[in-house]
């Protein structure tokens, strides 16, 4: 056993209202510079939709993530020699047109225009060349456009469905959508790390945050292709790749990451998980449908005395184990098993988990869902949002995983309905609990964690032990003379 | 006198500038080391520039280097006419392709406004110097036949005399002007390394072939 700690998160999709506040908080803090305008380390997508960059989930096109090659796992980009052979021109690199060309407007022309009969206009201009441009796309261009023949219909997840299911999703009365906020998953088996020719990308041992060493990055661009989630980005002005840093300077100061802190729907949970690094390889070699269960298995119980002893042996501080015991992520992912990883079939072991959205399924049954318990559970396949679609997103195609989550979430709804409205009989609640394999107490706990928590319960930041980082990395005498941490050179091309 | 400056002094200056400049840049401003790739902004045309360019210029450069480092082996290799013809023909072909690639680079950089946004003065200087180098190289290969052989008796001893700190300028002084331009320009290119995107040559990521797939960094352990 080789225990490590990982700062992980859960996004509760039923609570996401698609307001993009998280994206704006992140943009203002991190990517408000020349060359990175197009980067959205946090973005919110409408599903079904093509996403950002366009069709990022289509690995036939981008060759991101891992694939099984006999008994070994190999990057879909190819072996190491082949990857280096493509270093001069990476054939799988998405270009700016796959994201969007960043733009601004010539606002000054609104006031500087000479007097005339026409209303002055602010022309859109490219933020790259500065020339006037026709705006063709943006970071959330398909926002709310479910049912669109251009966007939703080209969602790679939709394209994998049967024609009947596709028709069902696009029937006007049954149109359905939900929001998918995405940040870097800080994977256990990160493909960006494995693909970096310079070895600039690394996982921090203490907390599992994946970072790009800006001094080591040489702009070979392989991480951009290797990451199946397209969450590393190439900075076109500096020639360096950048990615979500999980706001580690904020975490080290005990603050929630900006996107978590600003989340209006309070959908974001953060906590530390203990896992067994020795079992990563086994977990990534399972069949697609078993990947979720395998990933759950390598996450360890922080209350287990044996795990605690092993953690101590591995040098994980007591406070971190304590934080793991209070981790909401552990509850959602391991104890209740209602949060699932995004696209586990990419085999990177993403450590950001999603509670799948229940709402579209419930609304399928108009006129009192709770009266139709039996029907509801037997007709999950015909639900407004096909279970297969969700299984493609969150379970490597394993519909049973999705159904198990939904049965549990429905049991929560039905029991709470009995308590707050009272029009459900106890026998119906009992039946829902039995189907959902969940106890009455657990339901109350899920309900409280979903709806009634304070920020301190939702976001449990382990001590980040910054003091050790300073000791190890720098001569304290030298550090004393510096003014604050971080790079004091502007991120610009200088040579 | 001019020959002495060009072939006896300039090479030392160029090497000093290249080494000191690169070491300085690596030590002090490591953040600036990058391939400065513009593939993200424009990919399709770049393919026809960068792939032919790198896959032709690297072997050509290696051939120059091998003939300098191992003249005896190189001489043996070219001892038979067939091998000599094959090497000369492939060298010429590679050079021609490199020249075409250079033109693609120039056209792309001049014609695409997006690429214009990431182009600096030194980029233009570098392109011009490289084009001159390729053009003179191809011209020499075509007009002054069997360069791969006479190189061994002119350039190689001159370069070795430079290494031995006893510059024998006479080897180069008798050469045609075009060869002189090629040689001087080569050292000028070398001097440009620390000041341009050529710096990416010092970070060829061969270590990637041997490292473990995952990289974990601990505070202390």
**CATH number reported for the structural domain that contains residue A197 in this entry:** 3.30.70.20
Decide if pLDDT at A339 tops 80.
yes
A222 lies in a domain? yes
Indicate whether A459 belongs to any domain: no
Cβ of residue B16 closer than 8 Å to a chain A Cβ: no
**Domain presence at residue B147:** yes
Q: A214 and B31: CB-CB below 8 Å? A: yes
Does A491 reach chain B within 8 Å, measured CB to CB?
yes
Binding site: which residues of B? 54, 64, 182, 200
Distance from CA of B192 to the nearest CA of A (A): 11
Taking 60 as the threshold, does the pLDDT of residue A364 lie above it?
A: no
With an 8 Å Cβ cutoff, is A480 touching chain B?
no
Distance from CA of B42 to the nearest CA of A (A): 7
Helices marked H in A130-236: 156-159, 163-170, 191-195, 222-226
Instruction: Note whether residue A107 is domain-resident.
Output: no
CB A487 within 8 A of CB A214: yes
Q: Is the pLDDT of residue A371 over 50?
A: no
CB-based contact, A488 to chain B, within 8 Å = no
Q: Are A54 and A201 in the same domain?
A: yes
Q: Do the Cβ atoms of B122 and A495 come within 8 Å?
A: yes
Which residue from B minimizes the CA distance to A131? Answer: B113
Domain assignment of residue A19, yes or no: yes
A127: nearest Cα among B134, B29, B118, B131: B118
Query: Quick one: closest CA in B to A207, which residue?
Result: B218
Q: Is residue B132 part of a domain?
A: yes
pLDDT digit string, tens, across residues A272-325: 999 999 999 999 999 999 999 999 999 999 999 999 999 999 999 999 999 999
Query: Which range is least confidently modeled, A181-190, A195-204, B142-151?
Result: B142-151
Domain count, chain B: 1
Residues A244 and A367 in one domain: no
Binding site, annotated residues of B for heme b: 54, 64, 182, 200
What are the tokens at B160? 């070795």
Average pLDDT taken over every residue of chain A: 90
CA B209 to chain A, closest CA, distance in angstroms equals 6
Print the domain residue range for A236: 11-102+136-250
Joined together, the tokens standing for residue A190 give 């990160």
Number of CB pairs, chain A paired with chain B, less than 8 A apart: 150
A69 with A206, same domain: the answer is yes
- For A381-437, the pLDDT digits (tens) are 566 788 889 999 999 999 999 989 988 998 998 899 899 988 888 998 999 899 899
In whole angstroms, give the CA distance from residue A310 to residue A439: 31
Asked whether residue B193 is domain-assigned, the answer is: yes
For residue range B95-111, list pLDDT tens digits in order. 999 999 999 999 999 99
Whether residues A151 and A23 fall in one domain = yes
Interface contact flag, A197 B208, Cβ < 8 Å: yes
Residue B215 is assigned to a structural domain of this protein: no
B146 within a domain of the structure (yes/no): yes
B164 touches chain A (CB under 8 A): no
Full domain range(s) for residue B71:
2-202
- Cβ contacts (< 8 Å) between B98 and chain A: which residues? none
Q: Which residue of B lies nearest to A468 if distances are taken between CA atoms?
A: B219
Question: Which of residues 349 through 408 in chain A touch B, CB cutoff 8 A?
Answer: none
Under the phi-then-psi rule, with left for phi > 0, alpha for psi from -120 to 50, and beta for the rest, what region is A246?
left
Contact B205 A218 (CB under 8 A): yes
CA dihedral of residues B143, B145, B147, B148 (deg, nearest 10): 140
Question: Which CATH number belongs to the domain containing residue A378 in this structure?
Answer: 1.10.3650
* In a shared domain, residues A246 and A367: no
Q: Can you give the pLDDT at residue A478?
A: 59
Final residue of a structural domain among A228, A250, A272: A250
Give this complex's ipTM.
Answer: 0.92
Q: Is residue B213 part of a domain?
A: no
Residue from A300, A400, A390, A404 nearest A354 by CA: A390
User: Distance between CA A229 and CA A348 in Å, rounded?
Assistant: 10
Domain count of the fold of chain A? 2
pTM: 0.91
* CA–CA min distance A465, chain B (Å): 9
For chain A, say whether B205 makes contact (Cβ under 8 Å). yes
- The answer to whether A473 touches B10, Cβ cutoff 8 Å, is no
> Domain boundary residue among A224, A250, A276?
A250
Residue B207, in any domain of the structure: no
Please check whether residue A395 lies inside any domain of the structure. Answer: yes
pLDDT digits (tens, 9 = 90+) for A443-482: 999 999 999 999 999 999 998 877 666 555 556 565 555 5
Closest partner residue to A194 among B53, B205, B213, by Cβ?
B213
CB of A283 within 8 Å of a chain B CB? The answer is: no
């Amino acid at each position: 056993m080789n225990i490590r700690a990982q700062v992980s998160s859960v996004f509760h999709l039923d609570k996401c209202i698609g307001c993009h506040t998280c994206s704006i908080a992140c943009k203002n803090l991190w990517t408000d510079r020349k060359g990175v305008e197009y980067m959205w380390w946090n973005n919110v997508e409408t599903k079904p939709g093509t996403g950002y960059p366009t069709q990022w989930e289509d690995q036939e096109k981008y060759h991101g993530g891992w694939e099984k090659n006999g008994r070994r796992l190999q990057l879909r980009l190819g072996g190491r020699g082949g990857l280096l052979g493509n270093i001069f021109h990476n054939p799988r690199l998405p270009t700016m047109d796959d994201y969007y060309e960043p733009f601004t407007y010539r606002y000054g022309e609104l006031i500087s225009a000479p007097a005339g009969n026409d209303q002055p206009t602010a022309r859109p201009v490219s933020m790259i060349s500065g020339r006037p441009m026709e705006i063709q796309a943006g970071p959330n261009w398909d926002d709310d456009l479910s049912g669109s023949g251009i966007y939703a219909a080209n969602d790679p997840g939709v394209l994998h469905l049967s024609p009947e299911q596709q028709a069902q999703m696009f029937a006007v009365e049954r149109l359905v959508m939900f929001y998918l906020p995405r940040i870097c998953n800080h994977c256990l088996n990160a493909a960006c790390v494995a693909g970096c020719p310079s070895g600039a990308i690394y996982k921090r041992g203490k907390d599992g945050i994946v970072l790009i060493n800006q001094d080591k990055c040489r702009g070979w661009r392989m991480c951009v292709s290797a990451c199946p989630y397209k969450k590393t980005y190439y900075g076109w002005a500096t020639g360096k790749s950048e990615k979500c840093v999980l706001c580690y300077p904020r975490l080290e100061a005990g603050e929630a990451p900006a996107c978590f802190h600003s989340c209006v729907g309070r959908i974001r949970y953060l906590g530390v998980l203990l896992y067994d690094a020795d079992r990563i390889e086994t977990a990534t070699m399972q069949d697609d449908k078993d990947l979720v269960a395998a990933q759950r298995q390598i996450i360890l119980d922080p209350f287990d005395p044996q795990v605690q002893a092993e953690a101590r042996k591995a040098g994980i501080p007591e406070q971190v184990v304590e934080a793991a015991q209070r981790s909401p992520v552990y509850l959602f992912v391991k104890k209740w098993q209602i949060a699932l990883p995004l696209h586990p079939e990419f085999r990177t072991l993403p450590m950001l988990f999603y509670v799948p959205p229940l709402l579209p399924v419930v609304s399928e049954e108009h006129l009192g869902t709770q009266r139709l318990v039996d029907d509801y559970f037997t007709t999950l396949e015909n639900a407004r949002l096909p279970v297969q679609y969700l299984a493609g997103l969150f379970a490597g195609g394993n519909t049973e995983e999705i159904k198990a989550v939904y049965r549990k979430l429905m049991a929560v709804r039905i029991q709470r309905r009995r308590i707050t409205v009272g029009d459900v009989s106890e026998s119906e609640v009992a039946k829902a609990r039995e189907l959902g394999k969940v106890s009455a107490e657990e339901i109350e706990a899920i309900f409280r964690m979903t709806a009634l928590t304070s920020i301190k319960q939702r976001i449990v930041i382990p001590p980040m032990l910054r003091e050790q980082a300073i000791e190890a990395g720098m001569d304290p005498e030298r550090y004393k003379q510096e003014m604050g941490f971080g790079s004091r050179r502007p991120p610009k091309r200088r040579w | 006198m001019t020959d002495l400056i060009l072939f006896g002094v300039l090479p030392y200056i160029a090497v000093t500038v290249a080494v000191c400049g690169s070491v300085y840049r690596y030590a002090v401003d490591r953040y600036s080391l990058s391939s400065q790739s513009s593939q993200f902004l424009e990919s399709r045309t770049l393919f026809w520039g960068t792939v032919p360019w790198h896959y032709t210029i690297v072997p050509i450069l290696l051939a120059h280097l091998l003939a300098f480092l191992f003249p005896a082996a190189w001489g043996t290799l070219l001892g038979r006419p067939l091998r000599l013809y094959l090497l000369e023909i492939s060298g010429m072909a590679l050079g021609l392709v490199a020249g075409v690639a250079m033109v693609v680079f120039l056209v792309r950089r001049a014609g695409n406004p997006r690429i214009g946004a990431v182009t600096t003065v030194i980029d233009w200087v570098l392109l011009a110097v490289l084009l001159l180098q390729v053009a003179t190289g191809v011209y020499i290969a075509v007009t002054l036949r069997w360069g791969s052989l006479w190189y061994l008796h002119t350039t190689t001893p001159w370069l070795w005399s430079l290494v031995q700190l006893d510059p024998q300028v006479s080897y180069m002084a008798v050469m045609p002007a075009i060869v002189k331009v090629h040689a001087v320009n080569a050292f000028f290119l070398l001097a440009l390394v620390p000041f341009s995107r050529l710096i990416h040559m010092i970070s060829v990521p061969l270590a990637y072939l041997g490292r473990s797939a995952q990289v974990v960094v601990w505070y202390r352990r």
